[in-house]
Structure formats: C-alpha cells, structure tokens
Amino acid sequence: MIERMGLLFLMIWSLIPLRTLAGVQDSLRFSLLTCTPGSQIYALFGHTGIRYQNISRGIDLVFNYGMFDFDAPGFIPRFVKGDTDYELGIIPYDDFVAEYKSRGSCVYGQELNLTDAEKERLSELLVENYRPENRIYRYNYFYDNCTTRAFSQIEKSIHGEVVFPNGKQNVSFRSIIREFTAVSPWSGLGIDLCLGAEADQPIDLRKQMFSPLYARNFANEAYIVNEDGSTRPLVSRETKTTGVGKPKRLSSLSPSALFSAFFLLNMAIAYRQWKRQRIYWLWDILLYSVQGVAGCVITFLFFVSSHPTVGSNWLVLVFNPLPLLYLPRMIYCSINRKRDPYHLFNSLYLGAFLLMVPFLPQSFHEAVLLFLLALWMNAISHVLVVRNINSQPIGNCQIRT
C-alpha cells in the first residue's frame, strides 16, 4: 500500500509544476524528523526522515532512506559482507509516527527554514531520488545511511552554506556506538568485537552526524549563510510527539558481570587441574570453541567484509579459526595424556598480546579481556600439569610414563 501511495504521489508530482506546488505562501513545508532509539537492536541508534507537507493539497508524507527488504534473497550474507542495499521509500506521516510511537520512541520534527526556491529545489532532489533507477543505494552505516542521505539532500537544496557548531571533542565511532548500545549490552558487545582500531580514531562533526540524535542536536544550532552574507537559522522551530523517548534496558546481566564470573570459574578449574594433575578436556572444548567461532566471524570481517573499520581489528590475532581447527588434536592429547606443545605456545602468545593491549590503538571491551585472561590461565594450567610428565621432545606427543 505504501509503495502504491509513493508511485501515485510521484505521478501527481510529475504532472504538476513545482512552482505551482510552492505557489501558496507557507503551503509547502519540509521538516527533518528524528526518531529516538527503541529497544530492538535495529532501532538502538534512532532514525531520520524528511517530512514533506503541502498544506493546500492535504499531502503529508515522509521520505525515508532507511527502508530495506529483509526477505530479499541472500539478505543476511550480504549484510554480513557489507553489501546491503537500502532504498528511499515514501510513507504517510501519520503511519510513520504511529510506528515509532508503538516502539516507545519520540519523534522530533525540526521545520527547516527554507526559501520558496530552496523548497522547490529540495522537492526536485527528492523526486529524482525516488525514481526507480535512483532509489536504491549501497548502505554504509558510518558514511552513507538514512541520516547522512537526508542531510546531503537538504544541503544541496540551500542557496548558501550551512554552518554547523563545533562537534564534540574526543568522540569516536566506537564511543558513540557504546553510548547507544548501553541499554542492550550484549548487542553492544557483538558490535564492539567487530570494530577495529579505525573506530577509535577521533572523528569530526561531519562523521559524528552518522548518528541521528547527534545530527538533530547539531541541526538545532546550525545556521545558513546566504549568498548576500546574511544569516538565518537552519531550523525555524521544533515539535515533539509523545513517547517514552528512552529505551528500556534489555538485559540486567551485563557481559562484564557474566565474564567476571566466568573468569573466576576458570581460575578455579585451572587450579584444580594443576592440583590434581589432570586436564578437564570438556572445559577445553568450551573455551576454544567459543574462541574459534568468534574468530571465524572476526576473520571473515577482517579479510572479506566491506563494512567500515572492521579491517583494522587487532583481535584477529587472538580470535581466528586456528584454535577451532586444532581443537580435535588438542582433545586427543588431553584424553590420552599426551604432551601438547600448543599450550606452551598459547600461554606465551596470549601473554604477549595482553601485555601489548595498553599500547595498541584499539579499545577492547572488558568482557573480551576477561575471556582472554581465562584462555591464558587455562594455557598456563596445561603447561604446569604436563611439566612433570616424562616424555619425548616437545615436538612429539608422547604417552606419559
């Protein structure tokens, strides 16, 4: 139904001269819509749209650059790889607001302080964007999303220059992500795992505006420098729909709390292994399976994905498929009480990485560091257990005598 409305709107708009549409004083209005975050993972960061109102013709629609088809063939593999296509859609304003209010979100409307000529130009840009050959675009979360697209069209329509305030200091992509995933800590951990060192570099105002809420705040303080040198505010007024405005925390158990308990449990198991001179190989399966599976994802993103910043992830040094591939050999040696050189290498390797952490240009989630410490302690316990085993040279796994 929404698509049919959009096509009907495009047909009507293409038949009526734009100057006629803007001919009645204050008949044509544009507003920047910002939706506050919701509780669902896809709504944690908010959303942006452009509202088009033609008062004299009773038209009230939203141009939404954030539409996608989840049921499209290969959507999930393409999303992981970074080849996701989004498109511009047209939605009735009342339906748009009702959807976000049902999620508990507020919708802020910032009416743009545009001249008639600028409104006409923005109308032309949006119509051109909505044509079938133009409406689909390759989505990039940090650099080309629903917010950056909306601001790009607004700035193109203005006869002059938009001047924004100074951005926040010492802000990075990762710090903004962590800010908005605080209510969904497990989602935040998953995203944090995938982001590399580039996500920790300070970003300027333009890059901070990938976030809908940041962009809204900057727009409220922005002004337009006209071609004659005079100035005017970008936003003439702001309205707000009712709504909760702040999403509920999705989990009371944080990853840091769980992995702290996990680390203490691992300490107890490591001590018991050393005390009893016995390897608990089922615990090895758990530890190294988690490390290997996470490593498969991080390695794929590092080498294959076109998502921004994932190709600079230092975690690929410790989260990769190698532990998963070596796990059968490791378990074989543990069950048969054979000496395995992997754990000596792993204890030295993980120890070196943990010593490097304070000097690396990447911020690591506390839960990740706790898990790496657990792996390191497990490797050390293996080394201590086999220290007294009388065996052949370490290159060969030998049966304990």
Are 214 and 270 members of one domain? no
Which of 240, 265, 288 represents a domain boundary (last residue)?
240
Q: Which spans in 103-184 are helix H?
A: 116-130, 146-157, 173-180
Task: Specify whether 215 is located in the same domain as 335.
Answer: no
Q: What mean pLDDT do residues 311-338 have? A: 91
Mean predicted confidence (pLDDT) in 77-81? 75
Q: Is the pLDDT of residue 186 over 50?
A: yes
pLDDT tens across 261-288, in order? 999 999 999 998 888 888 888 999 999 9
Same domain, 80 and 225: yes
| Pair 312, 163 in one domain | no
Mean pLDDT of 213-227: 95
Q: Which of 240, 266, 298 represents a domain boundary (last residue)?
A: 240
Flag whether pLDDT at 326 surpasses 80.
Answer: yes
Range with lowest mean pLDDT among 57-71, 146-160, 282-296, 319-333: 57-71
The answer to whether residue 361 is domain-embedded is yes
Write out the residue range of the structural domain in which residue 312 sits: 255-386
Mean pLDDT confidence for 326-345: 86
pLDDT-derived band at 388 (thresholds 50, 70, 90) equals low
334 falls in which pLDDT band (50, 70, 90)? Answer: confident
pLDDT of res. 276: 83
pLDDT higher than 90, residue 79? no
Same domain, yes or no: 87 and 224: yes
Residues 268 and 326 in one domain: yes
For the four alpha carbons of 284, 286, 287 and 290, in that order, the dihedral sign comes to: positive
Residue 119 covered by a domain: yes
Q: Is residue 56 part of a domain?
A: yes
**Euclidean distance between the first and the last CA atom of the chain, given in angstroms as a whole number:** 77
One domain for residues 226 and 277: no
For the chain, the average pLDDT equals 86
Domain-embedded: residue 401: no
pTM over 0.85: yes
One domain, residues 162 and 266: no
- Asked whether residue 294 is domain-assigned, the answer is yes
Q: What is the DSSP string of 302-350?
A: HHT--STTGGG-GGGGTSSSHHHHHHHHHHHHHHTTB--THHHHHHHHH
How many CB atoms lie under 10 A from the CB of residue 397?
A: 17
Same domain, yes or no: 270 and 226: no
Backbone angles phi, psi at 137, to 5 degrees: -140, 155
Looking at the domain assignment, is residue 396 inside a domain?
A: no
Read off the pLDDT of each residue in 86-114 and give the average, rounded to a whole number.
93
Is residue 249 a part of any domain in this protein? Answer: no
Q: Residue 175 pLDDT > 60, yes or no?
A: yes
> Is 248 a member of any domain?
no
Is it the case that residue 250 has pLDDT exceeding 70? no
Examine the domain organization and report whether 127 and 66 are in the same domain.
yes
Beta carbons within 10 angstroms of residue 205's beta carbon: 16
Cβ-contact 254, 185 below 8 angstroms: yes
Is there a single domain that holds both residue 287 and residue 354? yes
Q: Do 145 and 214 have their domain in common?
A: yes
